[in-house]
Structures are given as structure tokens and as C-alpha cells.
Amino acid sequence: RPYLVRLAHTLLAGIDPRHYTTWGRPGIRAQLIDVKRKKLEMDFVLEGDDRSMHVLNAVSPGFTCSIPFAEMVCERIQAHLDRSS
């Protein structure tokens, strides 16, 4: 466990290994890390090309903004298609 804390310290600013003295059950958090800024990415990230669009960092499958977010994704795809034709 101390090894994992040391690794986290290399990825994220503000992790002080001395603060981790007790341990609970481990968990998994599917969240992007901006390795240049050493911070967790707190928003959705859309990446794509001419053939695909990818939603990254959608940490909760039931997020409350799903309908407006889906509309935004569709608008971006449509704008890309309009530019391509």
C-alpha cells in the first residue's frame, strides 16, 4: 500500500504519503488524470476524428445531465458532418 501511495504522489499534486497511515477497503475510480497538470480531470472529455467520437471521463453511467450532454455530443457530431460534406 505505501508503494501505491508513492505512485499516486508521482501522478497527482498534493498527495503527501505521510498522510496515509490507515487503510480502508480499496476502490476503483474510472477518472482521467491530466498528467501535465498532475490533477484529476473533473469534466467530460470528447475526442474524435472523421470516423468516431469518444466520450471520456464519464464517471457515472447515470449522471443527471445525460440528456443535455447527449444533445451536445450530437450537435458536435452534426457540426463535424456538416463541415465534411
Q: How far apart are CA 32 and CA 29, in angstroms?
A: 9
> In the chain, how many domains are there?
2
In sequence order, what are the beta bridge partners of 46?
55
Domain match, 36 and 48 both: no
Domain match, 33 and 52 both: no
Domain match, 71 and 85 both: yes
Task: Answer whether residue 79 shows pLDDT above 80.
Answer: yes
Owning domain of residue 28:
1-41
Domain match, 23 and 52 both: no
Cα–Cα–Cα angle for 30, 36, 40, rounded to 5 degrees: 30
How far, in Å, are 2, 4, 31, 33, 46 from residue 57 at the CA level?
27, 22, 5, 9, 9
pLDDT tens-digit profile of 29-77? 778 989 899 898 988 899 988 888 898 888 776 677 788 888 999 999 9
Q: How far apart are CA 11 and CA 15, in angstroms?
A: 9
Domain match, 55 and 85 both: yes
Q: The whole model's pTM is what?
A: 0.57
